[in-house]
Amino acid sequence: MARFLADFGLRFGAFDFAVTADDAWWFLECNPNGQWAWLQAAAGLPITNAIADLLANGASHHD
């Protein structure tokens, strides 16, 4: 996924996959403005802060 983002000049992308009944993963798309707010609460992660950091500073504190 990191290479995909770099190849397209993106700093963020919400990747969509489908998983078949036999556990085969299929790539569907990458949304450069995908929905992620629901994931922040579900995972308990500071995603908003990380994206704001990235936009303001060009890099995350976790790089």
CA distance 41 to 49: 13
pLDDT in tens, the chain (63 residues): 899 999 999 988 889 999 999 999 999 999 988 787 888 989 999 988 988 888 888 765 554
CB 30 within 8 A of CB 16: yes
Where are the domains positioned within the chain?
A: 2-57
Q: DSSP character for 63?
A: -
The residues near 59 (Cβ < 8 Å, ≥ 6 apart) are 53
Q: Cα–Cα distance between 1 and 21 in angstroms, integer?
A: 23
Name the pTM for this structure: 0.58
